[in-house]
Amino acid sequence: MPQRIPHLYLGHDRVGAAVVRSAGTPRQDERGTPIVLVPGLGAPGYLLRTLRHCARSGPARLLDVPGFRDPGGPVCPETLGPLADTVARWLAVVPRAPVVLAGHSTGAQVALHAAVRAPERVRSLVLLSPTFPPHLRRMPALLCALARTAVHEAPDVVPAVLPSYLEAGPRRLLNCVRSAQADAPEDVLPSVGCPVTVVAGERDALCPEDWADHLARRATTGRALRAPGAHAFPHPHPAVTADALAQSRDGWP
């Protein structure tokens, strides 16, 4: 019998002076280990399919950070440090139990830094298509890799992210990218005490296989997995993505 897809709700959680918007399962249904998703480049729409699949097996939330399309306005600047601070503060006050924290693309970098800031609130960390390997920390190389990856992306990912990108505008998107390029996640991973899973798309030039493997080796307890698709694989392959997250929810190694 197919599993029922739970009703998702849109909520706002006060975190200090900020109010963070998220989509997810109803609070009264939050039994078990929550899965918390952090989007890349502040565009949560392409992770909604993954959220729905995760919600079939337990509590799940998708954070809208920084909140480009939130009617209340962004809750923080779009750069890596403030985003990680916001996620860490949310983890400290909202979930009832330690979570599986999963970020995609630049959101993986945010999740990584948030896990270091709030280690007691993160049971397991999942980095989906984490950015950026050293050779892509310069804009010309990044643009070339983006072009090679784009031809393998599912066409319907564009309408899933475009509204957030248009609301953000080029300046804020560029701020986010440059902030991510200035980061070295390989140097941060040894500070993470929980298990780490790194998942990379098979056709992703932004997160190539050797980079994903390197990050997994840098973790105290790490593993690397492959997924079909390119950089935005969670959108066309939500079941595969949710399965990797469910494994972390169930506990490994």
Does residue 34 sit within a domain?
Answer: yes
Provide the token pair at 157: 């990912």
Give the domain CATH number at 236: 3.40.50.1820
Q: Tell me what the mean pLDDT of segment 179-190 comes to.
A: 98
Q: Write out pLDDT tens, residues 151-161.
A: 999 999 999 99
Range of 97's domain? 9-250
**Residue 80 — pLDDT band, cuts 50, 70, 90?**
very high
Is residue 212 domain-resident?
A: yes
Please give the pLDDT value at position 32. 82
Predicted local distance difference test score (pLDDT) of residue 27: 64
What are the strands of the beta sheet with 122-128, ordered from one edge?
A: 9-15, 18-24, 60-64, 35-38, 99-104, 122-128, 196-201, 222-227
pLDDT at residue 26 is higher than 90: no
Positive or negative torsion for Cα 91, 95, 98, 100? negative
- Cα Rg of the chain, angstroms: 16
Q: Does 3 reside within a domain?
A: no
Q: Is 2 part of a structural domain of the chain?
A: no
Q: How far apart are CA 21 and CA 11, in angstroms?
A: 6
| Mean of pLDDT over the chain | 94
pLDDT reported for residue 4: 53
pTM for the model:
0.95
Confidence check: pLDDT of 116 > 60: yes
Number of domains present in the structure of the chain: 1
Residue 229, in any domain of the structure: yes
Domain assignment of residue 96, yes or no: yes
Let me know if residue 4 belongs to a domain. no
Beta pairing class for 122-128 and 99-104: parallel
Q: Is residue 29 part of a domain?
A: yes
